């Protein structure tokens, strides 16, 4: 399987790229995060800048105009961004899951048609999988694709779809055979552009992860041609989607690690500024114990993310490693943001301090791209499979 990775990235190239990302995060992402979060305002100018930086083509092969980054470098970028604001990483995560599925499973014609435009951000995509009755259990989806003379007619409602409002295309999971047993053998993936029959019904309000277009999407007699069927084969949709989700879970794990790291940095700074009983609270042992625990979880998270990313780069199956990283790092994000809230005390409840945003954002990483309970099951099953007696 071709991973699309450009193996010519030297350690010096990596350092130059990550230094550039550091400057972008500090100078362009950090200053707007609080305002856009509080107003739930889409960061359109930032998205245009992300196009210029090549982030929409981060993991797409250079053959199609992408950067061809190995997942190990890509994950470091995601962590850096999320340590300041989680939203930008979500905008290009869903997009790159779609691109990864096309590069892995698409026909030559599909790759030539879609990947160059996805790499530049001319096309900005996502994945339309979940429905009101089907999240973790994707085999329960009700969206259907009925064959006709022009190709397929899509009908159904999708929920919690990122990039559906401000993006212009999606990979849609639908059932082409309602009687298939097991159900996944009747599921197919379709590459779908915006247009007639594709209606974004409403933008969903959320506790956190604001400023990103998470929407309800209705497909009503959405006509697509036969060339829209990913790989040109019916019945492989769930397999194709899950292949793309490996990269998505590494992204979510990296965002969890980033949230944890950002919360730790804020807590370390505040603990040295805030004084109680005549000394900085950083000198109180109770605070030191919290900081030590947070720092340990941050480093462990980053190492697990790196391990999963390196396995992904080899083209090997890595659902166990990605599951471990996603589970542990997202929980670390929740833990560290919560402990930082305790360290900030009463001020943590004020939007003047950004730690409350980290706290609101963190929990989503335990749910998105497959719940952490599902990740534990995946890890356990793979552990047994790899150690048969």
3 state SS of 170: strand
- Are 219 and 130 in contact, with CB atoms under 8 Å apart? no
Q: Is 367 left (phi over 0), alpha (psi -120 to 50) or beta?
A: alpha
The closest of 21, 33, 177, 164 to 91, measured between CA atoms, is 164
- Are 235 and 176 in contact, with CB atoms under 8 Å apart? yes
* Residues sharing a CB contact under 8 Å with residue 261, sequence separation 6 or more, in sequence order: 79, 83, 298, 302, 336
3 state SS of 132: coil
The residue annotated as part of the active site, out of 113, 299, 369, 373, is 369
3 state SS of 59: coil
- Are 236 and 58 in contact, with CB atoms under 8 Å apart? no
Hey, how many other C-beta atoms are within 10 angstroms of the C-beta on 293? 14
For this structure, is 369 an active site residue? yes
- Are 220 and 198 in contact, with CB atoms under 8 Å apart? no
Q: What angle do CA 196, 200, 205 make, to 5 degrees?
A: 175
Active-site positions?
A: 369
């Amino acid at each position: 399987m071709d991973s699309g990775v450009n193996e010519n990235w030297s350690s010096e190239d990596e350092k130059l790229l990550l230094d550039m990302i550091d400057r972008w995060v500090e100078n362009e992402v950090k200053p707007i995060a609080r305002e856009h979060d509080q107003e739930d305002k889409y960061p359109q100018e930032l998205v245009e800048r992300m196009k210029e930086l090549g982030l929409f083509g981060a993991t797409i092969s250079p053959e199609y105009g992408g950067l061809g980054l190995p997942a190990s470098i890509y994950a470091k970028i995601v962590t850096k961004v999320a340590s300041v604001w989680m939203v930008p990483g979500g905008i290009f995560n869903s997009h790159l899951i779609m691109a990864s599925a096309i590069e892995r499973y698409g026909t030559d014609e599909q790759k030539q048609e879609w990947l160059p435009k996805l790499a530049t951000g001319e096309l900005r995509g996502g994945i339309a999988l979940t429905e009101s009755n089907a999240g973790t259990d994707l085999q329960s989806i009700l969206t259907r694709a009925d064959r006709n003379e022009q190709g397929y007619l899509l009908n159904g409602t999708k929920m919690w779809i990122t990039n559906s409002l401000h993006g212009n295309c999606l990979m849609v999971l639908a059932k082409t055979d309602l009687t298939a047993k097991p159900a996944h053998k009747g599921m197919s993936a379709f590459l779908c552009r915006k247009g007639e029959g594709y209606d974004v019904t409403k933008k969903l309000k959320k506790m956190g992860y604001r400023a990103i277009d998470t929407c309800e999407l209705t497909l009503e007699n959405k006509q697509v041609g036969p060339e829209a069927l990913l790989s040109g084969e019916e019945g492989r949709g769930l397999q194709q989607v899950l292949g793309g989700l490996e990269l998505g879970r590494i992204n979510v794990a990296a965002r969890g690690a980033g949230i944890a790291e950002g919360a730790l940095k804020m807590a370390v700074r505040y603990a040295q500024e805030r004084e109680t009983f005549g000394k900085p609270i950083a000198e109180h042992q109770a605070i030191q114990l919290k900081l030590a625990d947070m720092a340990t979880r941050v480093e462990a998270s980053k190492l697990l993310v790196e391990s999963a990313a390196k396995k992904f780069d080899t083209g090997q199956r890595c659902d166990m490693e990605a599951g471990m990283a996603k589970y542990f790092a997202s929980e670390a994000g929740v833990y560290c943001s919560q402990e930082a809230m305790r360290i900030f005390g009463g001020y943590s409840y004020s939007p003047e301090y950004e730690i409350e945003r980290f706290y609101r954002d963190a929990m989503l990483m335990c749910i998105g791209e497959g719940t952490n309970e599902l990740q534990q099951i995946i890890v356990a099953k793979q552990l047994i499979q790899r150690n048969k007696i």
